[in-house]
């Protein structure tokens, strides 16, 4: 067996400068507060021996998933050196890790007792040769991890089972099973099945849709008089040929000798044929002479309608304008008469204006004479007025007044006469203007009428003589067109049923074609399962099922092996575990502990069952301290079961008293006293009571390393009191 | 399975219900096995494994017949015990499952009984163990049997098929 003699640690995790530990006593205590580097010291030995095996998810230790090897605060190459005293001398194992990279296996060097130095794979192989121990075995029988106890201190059965698996060294199986589960192959298989199901449902939906469409079309066909037995490809082809023949006959009858047609020979040609016939039949009809003639006559009829209407409107306008002009002349005379009247009125007006002027001149003259007489002072006595014959006191003043009155009257009479003549003159001038306007309008309507005659001539395609009646000519032509149209219409009507029948035949062919087409589509969907692609997909589905089932079998096998190993270990260590548990827990209600392994039916993983020796289930009454005792008992029991086959002559316990009461701690010290007879002990603890109990009760000689402090730049501060 | 055959089966199930449909499907399968060349076919309507079939070459199959519309079948403890019993007699235990859905067909699965527990088993699992040769042989025969006897089954149900199977047995003897 190999005894640990010395351990040197540099730059490993919290360590900075090289620290050396000498294990020269049967019991070595690493004591100090948390986060001082105690666990890292034990971890350093583990890393030195097992490299990258002791970190990562495969260890089953959560804290080891993102474990960092190099010191994160003071970078530098990591070196851990362990010296062992073996059966034939000293073995030195050194593991180095260069500064680059935060994690890694490092490189190992082994120096044999004969000073032979081995490196790399050779050294690794030598390590295995020497110890024949895996990391899992080391973890379960040599190094009691504090994480293992922490994990078991849970009331959640699944986590506790996982923790016990780890204590039994079965984490790798659990990791494998977890990895398989994570692959979620069954989910993938289900997704594939889902796609299949989706395909099937879509096909089913398509078939249902086609069935509905076929049903609808068949009802239409039967309602249209097509016998149900005719709703097939052969009948479609037969009918297509009939339609083709009918079209050809029609073309001949319509006088279209150059018409050519291709009768479909295969069903797939029918759709194109249908469309072709539909278009061609319409064009054929459009090219028929009667139809062309009908169109031409209709166009001519339309072309004549407009000039005819224009002509009639123009004629009506001329008549109206003529009537209006004639009526004015009749009432007021023609232009000459109106001019004569106007001239007369104008002369009279001028004459009256002249007379008014003369009267005014005379009035002025008399007025001036009266004024003169006034200045000569001829008045004074009463005199008789020569004008009115009355006796007046002031004759001149009287004459002035009388004269003014007389002249005023005379002028007013003259002005009234002048106004009358002036008004008459204006009326005559207005009538003259009106007459001119009516004559202008008459000329315009006559010009329009001439234009419409020309239009009629153009529409009739001939010149119209002065003696001819354009309206009668148009009416005669329109009558002739109507007669010709009627004749053509009758001729067309005789042929139209044939086109109608052709269209009916085409519609029936379309219905049959639609039904056949839907049936073919439905058949294509129904044949999906017969296709190569479907077969390939099915094969793929089979292969997936086989793969999933194989993986399931592998998973079951791994779970079975894990269970068998668990059962073996529990069987081997059961008595020891029971013994340790009874001593450590010293539980008054649990006379003894029986441990069994079963399968968790849901997950297939190991499930651990504990029973008290009196047949009761102890788990509901297990305290945290009891669970800690259970974890320690499992570790110590397994270590004991390994016995002499275990290569290491020492045991490392990391923080073993996490939830233990004082009595349990004392019991643990007592147990360790016994183990100390067989193995050297390295115990890490922050528990002062436990340290004191160890120092006081362990009879073997002891060494104590005090972990006083830790700083980022200085690492742990460690002393070893002498 | 052709869609027309599937539609026949759907009509049978619609008429007789899922329970009787299972028994009818079992008898139709037994007839199909007879037509496929299995010289000795025993169909049990009541207890034990549903169908035993021995080929002229001496291949002996014992079939637990299940029909479903879903994606799994249910195997009871009795079903498994019966299969184990027949397996002890030298028969190859087979689970014959028919999923009554379009594009589905009989699935004959030679799943190791050690790998089966009572309860629901997804058809996808059975597919990993299916006997392709047996399916290729029996499925077309099953279609033929369904199409041949559809009218009779629809009219008289399980009894019609029981009489047919009895006639076959008499013919064998």
- The ranges assigned to domains in chain B are 3-168
Nearest chain A residue (CA) to B71 = A193
Question: Nearest Cβ partner of B103 from A529, A542, A549?
Answer: A529
Distances in Å between the alpha carbon of A69 and those of A35, A80, A95, A355, B165? 16, 11, 11, 147, 77
Rounded to 10°, the helix A289-332/A395-460 angle is: 160
Flag if A545 and B124 touch (Cβ within 8 Å). Answer: yes
In chain B, what is the straight-line distance between the N-terminal and C-terminal CA atoms, in Å?
32
Report ipTM (2 d.p.): 0.90
Q: Say what the alpha-carbon torsion angle A397, A398, A402, A405 is, to the nearest 10 degrees.
A: 50
Model pLDDT, residue B33: 95
CB A319 within 8 A of CB A399: no
Pick from A11-20, A48-57, A519-528, A659-668: least confident: A48-57
**In this structure, how many other beta carbons lie within 10 angstroms of the beta carbon of residue A633?**
26
Q: A223 vs B45, which has greater pLDDT?
A: A223
Model pLDDT, residue A627: 86
| Short-list A714, A342, A284, CA closest to A506 | A284
Model pLDDT, residue A618: 85
Average pLDDT estimate for B3-21: 94
Three-state secondary structure call for residue A279: helix
Q: Is the pLDDT at A182 greater than 70, yes or no?
A: yes
Question: Nearest Cβ partner of A528 from B4, B103, B125?
Answer: B103
Residue % of chain A over a pLDDT of 90: 52
- The yes or no reply on domain A1-142+650-657+681-722 and CATH 1.20.120.330 is no
Closest Cα in chain B, distance from residue A542 (Å): 6
Strand-pair category, A143-144 with A117-119: unpaired
Q: Is the pLDDT at A677 greater than 60, yes or no?
A: yes
Residues A434 and A327: their CA atoms lie apart, in Å, by 12
Q: List the structure tokens of B4.
A: 């027309």
Contacts of A552 in chain B (CB under 8 A): 125
**In this structure, how many other beta carbons lie within 10 angstroms of the beta carbon of residue A27?**
21
Q: What is the CATH number of domain B3-168?
A: 3.40.1350.10
Average pLDDT estimate for A84-92: 94
pLDDT digits over A679-691, tens only? 999 999 999 999 9
Closest Cα in chain A, distance from residue B46 (Å): 32
Q: How many CB pairs under 8 A join A and B?
A: 44
State the best of B2, B128, B130 to mutate against chain A, taking most chain A CBs within 10 Å. Answer: B128
pLDDT digits over B135-150, tens only? 999 999 999 999 999 9
Residue A378 confidence class, pLDDT cut points 50, 70, 90: low
- Alpha-carbon Rg for chain B, nearest whole angstrom, is 15
Residues of B with CB under 8 A from a CB of A: 1-4, 71, 101-104, 115, 124-125, 127-130
Is residue A465 classed exposed, middle or buried when 0-12, 13-18 and 19+ CB atoms within 10 A define those classes?
exposed
Three-state secondary structure call for residue A376: coil
Q: Is the pLDDT at B85 greater than 90, yes or no?
A: yes
Q: List the structure tokens of A523.
A: 């058949």
CB A81 within 8 A of CB A7: yes
Flag if A541 and B127 touch (Cβ within 8 Å). Answer: yes
Residue B74: beta bridge partners?
B120
Flag if B127 and A203 touch (Cβ within 8 Å). Answer: no
Which residues, 6 or more positions from A537, have their beta carbon under 8 angstroms from its beta carbon? A196
Flag if B103 and A534 touch (Cβ within 8 Å). Answer: yes
Question: Nearest Cβ partner of B125 from A197, A528, A549?
Answer: A549
Q: Is the pLDDT at A131 greater than 90, yes or no?
A: no
CB A349 within 8 A of CB A418: yes
Q: B21 vs B56, which has greater pLDDT?
A: B21
pLDDT digits over A218-247, tens only? 999 999 899 999 999 999 999 999 999 888
Establish how many alpha carbons lie within 13 A of residue A653's alpha carbon, considering only the half-sphere containing its beta carbon: 31
| Short-list A65, A8, A62, A15, CA closest to A40 | A15
- Alpha-carbon Rg for chain A, nearest whole angstrom, is 67
In chain A, what is the straight-line distance between the N-terminal and C-terminal CA atoms, in Å?
28
**In this structure, how many other beta carbons lie within 10 angstroms of the beta carbon of residue A703?**
18
Flag if B103 and A541 touch (Cβ within 8 Å). Answer: no
- Sheet containing B92-99, strands listed edge to edge, beginning at the edge strand earlier in sequence: B38-43, B51-55, B60-68, B92-99, B106-109
Q: List the structure tokens of A570.
A: 């529990």
| Short-list A657, A496, A655, CA closest to A143 | A655
Flag if B102 and A204 touch (Cβ within 8 Å). Answer: yes
Average pLDDT estimate for B11-38: 94
Three-state secondary structure call for residue A47: helix
> In angstroms, how far is CA B126 from the centroid of its own chain?
14
Distances in Å between the alpha carbon of A512 and those of A218, A222, A231, A237? 8, 10, 5, 10
Residue A377 confidence class, pLDDT cut points 50, 70, 90: low
Average pLDDT estimate for B75-84: 94
Q: Is the pLDDT at B60 greater than 90, yes or no?
A: yes
Contacts of B136 in chain A (CB under 8 A): none
Contacts of A550 in chain B (CB under 8 A): 128
pLDDT digits over A531-588, tens only? 999 889 889 899 999 999 999 999 999 999 999 999 998 888 889 989 999 999 999 8
Residues of A with CB under 8 A from a CB of B: 189-190, 193, 197, 199-200, 203-204, 207, 526, 528-529, 534, 541-542, 544-546, 548-550, 552-553, 556
Q: A211 vs A495, which has greater pLDDT?
A: A211
- Sheet containing A702-711, strands listed edge to edge, beginning at the edge strand earlier in sequence: A143-144, A650-654, A680-685, A27-32, A702-711, A715-719
Flag if A190 and B124 touch (Cβ within 8 Å). Answer: yes
Contacts of A190 in chain B (CB under 8 A): 124
Flag if A200 and B127 touch (Cβ within 8 Å). Answer: no
Model pLDDT, residue A140: 79
Residues A346 and A271: their CA atoms lie apart, in Å, by 96
């Amino acid at each position: 067996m190999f005894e640990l003699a010395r351990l040197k640690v540099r730059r490993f995790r919290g360590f900075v400068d090289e620290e050396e530990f000498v294990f020269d006593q049967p019991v070595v205590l690493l004591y100090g507060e948390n986060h001082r580097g105690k666990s890292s010291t034990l971890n350093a030995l583990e890393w030195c021996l097992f490299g990258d095996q002791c970190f990562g998810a495969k260890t089953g230790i959560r804290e080891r998933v993102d474990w960092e090897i190099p010191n994160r605060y003071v970078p530098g190459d990591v070196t851990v050196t362990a010296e062992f005293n073996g059966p034939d001398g000293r073995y030195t194992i050194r593991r180095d890790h260069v500064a680059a990279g935060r994690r890694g296996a490092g490189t190992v060097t082994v120096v044999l007792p004969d000073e032979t130095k081995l490196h790399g794979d050779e050294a690794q192989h030598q390590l295995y040769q020497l110890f024949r121990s895996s990391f899992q075995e080391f973890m379960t029988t040599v190094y009691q991890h504090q994480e293992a106890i922490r994990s078991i201190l849970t009331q959640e059965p699944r986590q506790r089972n996982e923790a016990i698996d780890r204590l039994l060294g079965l984490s790798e199986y659990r990791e494998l099973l977890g990895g398989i589960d994570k692959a979620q192959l069954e989910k993938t298989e289900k997704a594939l099945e889902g796609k299949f199901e989706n395909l099937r449902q879509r096909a089913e939906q398509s078939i249902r849709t086609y069935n509905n469409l076929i049903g609808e079309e068949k009802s239409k066909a039967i309602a249209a008089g097509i016998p149900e037995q005719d709703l097939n490809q052969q009948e479609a082809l037969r009918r297509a040929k009939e339609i083709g023949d009918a079209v050809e006959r029609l073309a001949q009858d319509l006088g279209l000798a150059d018409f050519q047609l291709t009768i479909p020979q295969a069903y797939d040609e029918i759709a194109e044929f249908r469309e072709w016939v539909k278009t061609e039949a319409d064009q054929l009809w459009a090219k028929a002479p009667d139809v062309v003639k009908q169109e031409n006559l209709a166009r001519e009829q339309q072309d004549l309608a407009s000039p005819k209407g224009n002509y009639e409107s123009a004629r009506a306008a001329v008549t109206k304008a003529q009537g209006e002009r004639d009526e004015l002349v009749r009432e007021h005379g023609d232009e000459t008469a109106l001019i004569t009247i106007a001239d007369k009125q104008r002369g009279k007006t001028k004459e009256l204006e002249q007379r008014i002027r003369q009267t005014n001149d005379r009035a002025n003259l008399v007025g001036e004479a009266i004024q003169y007489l006034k200045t000569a002072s001829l008045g004074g006595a009463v005199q008789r007025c020569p004008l009115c014959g009355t006796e007046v006191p002031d004759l001149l003043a009287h004459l002035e007044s009388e004269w003014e009155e007389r002249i005023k009257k005379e002028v007013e009479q003259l002005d009234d006469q002048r106004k009358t003549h002036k008004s008459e003159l204006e009326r005559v001038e207005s009538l003259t203007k009106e007459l001119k306007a009516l004559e202008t309008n008459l000329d315009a309507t006559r010009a329009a009428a001439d234009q419409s005659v020309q239009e009629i001539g153009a529409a009739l395609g001939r010149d119209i003589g002065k003696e001819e009646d354009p309206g009668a000519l148009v009416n005669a032509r329109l009558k002739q067109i109507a007669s010709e149209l009627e004749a053509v219409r009758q001729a067309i009507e005789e042929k139209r049923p044939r086109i109608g029948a052709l269209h009916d035949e085409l519609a029936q062919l379309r219905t049959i074609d639609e039904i056949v087409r839907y049936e073919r589509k439905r058949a294509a969907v129904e044949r999906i399962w017969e296709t190569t692609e479907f077969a390939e997909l099915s094969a793929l589905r089979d292969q997936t099922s086989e793969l999933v089932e194989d993986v399931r079998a592998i998973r079951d096998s791994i779970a079975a092996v894990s269970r068998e190993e668990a059962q073996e270990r529990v069987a081997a260590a059961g008595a020891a575990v029971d013994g340790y548990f009874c001593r450590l827990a010293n539980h008054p209600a649990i006379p003894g502990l029986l441990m069994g392994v079963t399968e968790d039916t849901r997950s297939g993983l190991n499930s651990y069952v504990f029973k008290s020796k009196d047949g009761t289930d102890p788990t509901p009454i297990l305290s945290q301290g009891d669970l800690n005792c259970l974890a320690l008992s499992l570790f110590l029991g397994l270590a004991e079961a390994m016995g002499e086959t275990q290569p290491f002559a020492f045991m490392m316990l990391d923080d073993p008293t996490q939830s233990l009461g004082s009595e349990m701690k004392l019991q643990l010290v007592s147990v360790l006293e016994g183990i100390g007879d067989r193995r050297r002990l390295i115990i890490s603890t922050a528990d002062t009571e436990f340290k004191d109990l160890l120092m006081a009760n362990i009879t073997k000689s002891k060494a104590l390393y005090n972990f006083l402090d830790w700083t980022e730049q200085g690492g742990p501060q460690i002393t070893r009191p002498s | 399975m052709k869609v027309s055959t599937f539609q026949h089966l759907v009509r049978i199930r619609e008429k007789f219900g899922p329970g009787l449909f299972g028994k009818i499907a079992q008898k139709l399968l037994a007839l199909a096995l007879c037509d496929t060349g299995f010289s000795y076919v025993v169909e049990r309507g009541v207890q034990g494994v549903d169908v035993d079939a021995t080929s002229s070459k001496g291949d002996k199959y014992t079939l637990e017949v299940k029909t479903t519309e879903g994606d799994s079948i249910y195997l009871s403890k009795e079903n498994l015990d019966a299969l184990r019993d027949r397996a002890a007699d030298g028969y190859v235990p087979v689970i014959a499952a028919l999923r009554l859905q379009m594009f589905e067909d009989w699935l004959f699965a030679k799943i190791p009984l050690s790998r089966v527990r009572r309860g629901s088993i997804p058809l996808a699992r059975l597919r990993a163990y299916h006997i392709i040769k047996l399916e290729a042989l029996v499925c077309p025969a099953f279609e033929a049997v369904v199409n041949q006897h559809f009218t009779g089954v629809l009219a008289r149900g399980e009894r019609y098929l029981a009489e047919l199977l009895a006639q076959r047995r008499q013919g064998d003897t």
